[in-house]
Amino acid sequence: MVFPLPLAYKDRIRRVEGVTRVSYGNWFGGIYLDRKNFFANFAVEPPTYLDLYPEFVLPPEERLAFLRDRKGAVAGKKLAERFRWKTGDVIPLQGTIFPGNWEFVLRGIYRGRDENVDETQFFFHWDYLNEALKKSAPARADRVGFYLIGVDHPNHASPVARAIDQLFRNSLAETLTETEKAFTLAFVSMSEAILVAIQAVSFVVLGIIAAVAANTMSMAVRERAWEYAVLKTLGFGGRHIAGLILGESLLISLTGCLLGMAVTFPAAYAFRKMVPMYLPVFRVEAETLYLDLIASFAVGVVSAALPAWRAVKVRIAEGLRRAG
């Protein structure tokens, strides 16, 4: 997903029309004590990185302490709570991509400005990493894994991306510039097979629910054949009978839907607490609730269709005989 790029690209990118700010960094991939303690950790250029991410709220005194300390680091609130870190603690990381034992001083703990902000990240000074590489692996020094670019208007993101890629076309290190959302979706696409499997299972479950609901309504209609026959003798037409059956089916499906929606939020909260390192931001969108209601309505209608048609077609005499 990322390839080393020369540090010299920064100034050339900054001169592209529409670019307001440029930052850079590397995925560090360090391990804290044990491999199971996974969390995202990056080496970044602190001032510009924090400017590009105002949603990372850091107290002014902690921000200043971080900027002044070359070995300083910042962690998200959830990450700090997970390992019970506090400012001033020394955080050891075992390098994987960049071998060695690294120590950082926790100078700040940021919180998310919004609910969907990832509070499980850990980042430190890129210069600290680069200085160590100059001594241990000079060929890897002065190279970054990615550039972060701020533009003067969101609508200019695409033309700016094309201009940057054109600038480095046919060079030894070509670039692929895209929005943060597109970059995230590229990671998600790696798990496309899993997502497709989950969707397939969801449709199967939905089909089973519809089949069970249809069977329930069919049994209920057969048991009430005499009642529907009596209603017909009193002058109620097929529309009234079908309406009763459809209403009952919708009541059952929508009641189940509302109960499920009520349980969704505590279940999502519990799931988020169980796997904060893999899904730091996990919430139920309003769109999901709308889809729940639509699916429930569809199940109710489909489940009532055949039983209602049979009840309407049954003659009065036959319905009365079934009761006997």
- pLDDT score of 320: 66
Using the predicted structure, report yes or no on whether residue 315 has a pLDDT greater than 60. yes
Last residue of a domain, one of 153, 188, 223: 188
- pLDDT score of 190: 64
Mean pLDDT of 27-55: 93
Q: Are residues 118 and 201 in the same domain?
A: no
Q: Are residues 167 and 213 in the same domain?
A: no
- pLDDT score of 101: 93
- pLDDT score of 197: 84
Q: Are residues 51 and 83 in the same domain?
A: yes
For 220-234, 238-252, 272-286, which range has the lowest pLDDT when averaged over its residues?
272-286
Model confidence at 319, in pLDDT bands (50, 70, 90)?
A: low
Q: Are residues 28 and 147 in the same domain?
A: yes
Model confidence at 281, in pLDDT bands (50, 70, 90)?
A: low
Q: Are residues 166 and 25 in the same domain?
A: yes
Model confidence at 167, in pLDDT bands (50, 70, 90)?
A: very high
Last residue of a domain, one of 141, 169, 188: 188
Q: Are residues 179 and 231 in the same domain?
A: no
Q: Are residues 229 and 289 in the same domain?
A: yes
Q: Are residues 18 and 86 in the same domain?
A: yes
For 23-37, 54-68, 176-190, which range has the lowest pLDDT when averaged over its residues?
176-190
Mean pLDDT of 177-195: 73
- pLDDT score of 280: 60
Q: Are residues 184 and 198 in the same domain?
A: no
Q: Are residues 206 and 172 in the same domain?
A: no
| Tally of domains in the chain | 2
- pLDDT score of 322: 60
Q: Are residues 221 and 95 in the same domain?
A: no
- pLDDT score of 275: 64
- pLDDT score of 193: 73
Mean pLDDT of 180-193: 70
Using the predicted structure, report yes or no on whether residue 156 has a pLDDT greater than 60. yes
- pLDDT score of 147: 95
- pLDDT score of 24: 96
According to the 3-state scheme, what is the secondary structure of the chain? Answer: CCCCEECCHHHHHHCCCCEEEEEEEEECCCECCCCCCCCCEEEECHHHHHHHCCCEECCHHHHHHHHHCCCEEEEEHHHHHHHCCCCCCEEEEEECCCCEEEEEEEEEEEEECCCCCCCCCEEEEHHHHHHHHHHHCHHHCCEECEEEEEECCHHHHHHHHHHHHHHCCCCCCCCCCCCHHHHHHHHHHCCHHHHHHHHHHHHHHHHHHHHHHHHHHHHHHHHCHHHHHHHHHCCCCHHHHHHHHHHHHHHHHHHHHHHHHHHHHHHHHHHHHHCCCCCCCCCCCHHHHHHHHHHHHHHHHHHHHHHHHHHHHCCHHHHHHHHC
Last residue of a domain, one of 158, 188, 218: 188
- pLDDT score of 272: 72
Mean pLDDT of 62-73: 96
User: Which tokens hold the place of 50?
Assistant: 């924090």
Q: How far apart are CA 181 and CA 183, in angstroms?
A: 5
Mean pLDDT of 258-270: 86
The residue segments making up the domain with residue 247 are: 192-323
Mean pLDDT of 213-233: 79
Q: Are residues 238 and 101 in the same domain?
A: no
